[in-house]
């Protein structure tokens, strides 16, 4: 009688285990759980029929298994929580807007055949060579940029490989070497400035600093903007502010604040690049050295893109590039109003009519 009952229980236990095993097959179960169940079932099947396992001993083993199961479930819960935290971490990048950061920049993103810019800085003049790598670490293209002056520089890549074929969309890393008189050596690709916005390449967010895309994982330093204590955008009304990144508003095909200002130490050749809200380059304006002077300069934009077509209404940013780096485009003006464009609120700068995000305000008088 005892033997029959014991065998029935063993069969039930074995069937239950097989059912459990079929549900979890293909998963990477912890060794302890499978091993425990296997040994316990084998022990029940092979016990001495004349001296079966005592109830107290069996209960003790079941209690041990219960504790093991709880620990395994707790571990799985912690793994799920970690994954959820990592998934949510990308959503926190908006907290960097308006903050001053320093970050390593060693990647360019290709989207729809168009490549974002790279960045590097030379401690002194040198001959520059850039190598672009794919995700497997293979050299996609080598760019020979020639002699460059001391200071920050951007990297212009057309998104093609060494055979002139467009590379697939994605993120590509790069390394910059410069011969400054002692042979080629790697130079810094760090960038510093205020985070102006966020752009996405695939599912990966990047911080935009002076037109350069910065991976949040590469940040070396983050400093809170001194104007964070302003509770509302309304607090800026009537105040004299300095905006590091004034914006241009196109409305009904016309440009409001179309006089793009920039400051130069000396007359120089400049290139003005205008970007849409997706940080896509839509217009390039070149000005020769004879058309500039030391101090504040102005350039007009007619709201046309590089294909001579009128751009869509919206807000556009710009930057001014010289042979030695980016020119200063910050402006100091009174805030005369608040304008909503595309669901976002902007400060209206009185004299020029240009706009500014509150996060771009670096000083309030």
What are 220-265's pLDDT values in tens digits?
Answer: 767 655 444 455 677 888 889 998 888 999 988 888 876 888 999 8
Q: Tell me which residue of 110, 118, 108, 106 sits closest to 167, measured CA to CA.
A: 110
As a whole number of angstroms, the distance between CA 144 and CA 133 comes to 15
Q: Give me the pLDDT at residue 128, please.
A: 93
Check whether residue 79 and residue 127 sit in a common domain.
no
Check whether residue 107 and residue 194 sit in a common domain.
yes
Tally of domains within the chain: 3
Please give the helix or strand (H or E) that residue 139 lies within, else none: strand 139-148
Pairing of strands 170-179, 184-186: antiparallel
Q: Give me the pLDDT at residue 54, please.
A: 56
Predicted structure pTM score = 0.42
Please report whether residue 253 resides in a domain.
yes
Q: Give me the pLDDT at residue 167, please.
A: 93
Check whether residue 281 and residue 326 sit in a common domain.
yes
Check whether residue 53 and residue 69 sit in a common domain.
yes
Please give the helix or strand (H or E) that residue 15 lies within, else none: helix 2-24
116-125, 146-155, 165-174: range with highest mean pLDDT: 165-174
Which residue, 37, 67, 91, sits at the end of a domain?
Answer: 91
Check whether residue 85 and residue 102 sit in a common domain.
no
Check whether residue 53 and residue 71 sit in a common domain.
yes
Check whether residue 237 and residue 357 sit in a common domain.
yes
Q: Give me the pLDDT at residue 83, please.
A: 55
Please report whether residue 247 resides in a domain.
yes
Q: Which residue has the higher pLDDT, 83 or 192?
A: 192
Query: What is the gyration radius of the CA atoms in the chain, in angstroms?
Result: 31
Which residue, 223, 256, 281, sits at the end of a domain?
Answer: 223
Where b means 16+ CB within 10 Å and e means fewer, 242-254 reads: bbbbbbbbbeeee
Determine the structural domain holding residue 78 and report its residue range: 2-91
Please report whether residue 33 resides in a domain.
yes
Flag whether pLDDT at 294 surpasses 80. Answer: yes
Flag whether pLDDT at 30 surpasses 50. Answer: no
> How confident is residue 311, by pLDDT bands cut at 50, 70 and 90?
very high
Please report whether residue 300 resides in a domain.
yes
Which residue, 58, 91, 124, sits at the end of a domain?
Answer: 91
Other CB atoms within a 10 A radius of the CB of residue 191 amount to: 22
Q: Provide, for the chain, the percentages of residues in helix, strand and coil under a 3-state DSSP scheme, each rounded to the nearest 5.
A: 25, 40, 30
As a whole number of angstroms, the distance between CA 358 and CA 274 comes to 20
Please report whether residue 228 resides in a domain.
no
Flag whether pLDDT at 19 surpasses 50. Answer: no
365 CB-near residues (< 8 Å, 6+ apart):
239, 240, 241, 242, 332
Flag whether pLDDT at 345 surpasses 90. Answer: no
Flag whether pLDDT at 196 surpasses 50. Answer: yes
Check whether residue 282 and residue 207 sit in a common domain.
no
Please report whether residue 182 resides in a domain.
yes
Check whether residue 214 and residue 253 sit in a common domain.
no
Flag whether pLDDT at 17 surpasses 50. Answer: no
Q: Which residue has the higher pLDDT, 253 or 151?
A: 253
Check whether residue 113 and residue 180 sit in a common domain.
yes
Numbers of helices and strands, H then E, in the chain: 3, 26
Q: Which residue has the higher pLDDT, 191 or 315?
A: 315
Q: Which residue has the higher pLDDT, 162 or 73?
A: 162
The residue whose two tokens read 């998963």 is: 27
Check whether residue 67 and residue 136 sit in a common domain.
no
Q: Give me the pLDDT at residue 287, please.
A: 93
Q: Residue 181: which CATH number?
A: 2.60.40.4070
CA angle (219, 325, 243) in 5-degree steps: 70
Q: Give me the pLDDT at residue 200, please.
A: 74
Q: Give me the pLDDT at residue 112, please.
A: 84
Check whether residue 218 and residue 239 sit in a common domain.
no
3-state secondary structure 54-93: CHHHHHHHHHHHHHHHHHHHHHHHHHHHHHHHHHHHHHHH
Flag whether pLDDT at 285 surpasses 80. Answer: yes
Flag whether pLDDT at 325 surpasses 60. Answer: yes
């Amino acid at each position: 009688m005892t033997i029959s009952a014991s065998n029935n229980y063993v069969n039930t236990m074995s069937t239950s285990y097989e059912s459990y095993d079929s549900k979890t097959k293909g998963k990477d179960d912890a060794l302890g759980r499978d091993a425990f169940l296997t040994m316990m079932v084998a022990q029940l099947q092979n016990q001495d029929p004349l001296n079966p396992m005592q109830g107290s001993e069996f209960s003790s083993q079941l209690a041990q298994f219960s504790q093991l199961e709880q620990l395994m479930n707790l571990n799985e819960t912690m793994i799920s929580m970690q994954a959820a935290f990592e998934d949510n971490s990308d959503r926190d990048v908006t907290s960097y807007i308006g903050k001053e950061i320093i970050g390593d920049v060693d990647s360019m993103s290709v989207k729809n055949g168009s490549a974002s810019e790279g960045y590097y800085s030379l401690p002194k003049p040198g001959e520059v060579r850039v190598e672009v790598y794919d995700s497997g670490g293979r050299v996609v293209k080598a760019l020979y940029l020639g002699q460059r002056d001391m200071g920050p520089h951007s990297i212009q890549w057309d998104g093609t490989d060494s055979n002139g074929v467009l590379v697939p969309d994605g993120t590509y890393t790069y390394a910059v070497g410069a011969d400054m008189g002692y042979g080629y050596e790697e130079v810094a690709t760090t960038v510093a400035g205020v985070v102006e916005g966020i752009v996405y390449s695939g599912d990966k967010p990047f911080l935009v600093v002076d037109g350069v895309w910065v991976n949040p994982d590469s940040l070396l330093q983050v400093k809170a903007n001194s104007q964070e204590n302003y509770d509302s955008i309304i607090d800026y009304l009537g105040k004299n502010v300095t905006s590091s990144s004034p914006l241009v508003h196109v409305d009904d095909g016309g440009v409001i604040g179309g006089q793009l200002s920039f400051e130069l130490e000396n007359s120089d050749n400049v290139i003005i690049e205008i970007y849409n809200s997706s940080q896509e380059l839509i217009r390039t304006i070149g000005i020769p050295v004879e058309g500039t002077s030391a101090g504040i300069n102005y350039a007009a934009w007619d709201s046309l893109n590089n294909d001579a077509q009128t751009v869509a209404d919206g807000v556009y940013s710009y930057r001014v590039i010289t042979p030695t780096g980016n020119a200063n485009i910050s402006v100091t003006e009174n805030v005369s109003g608040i304008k909503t464009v595309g669901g976002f609120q902007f400060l209206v700068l009185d004299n020029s009519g240009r706009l500014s995000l509150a996060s771009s305000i670096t000083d309030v008088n």
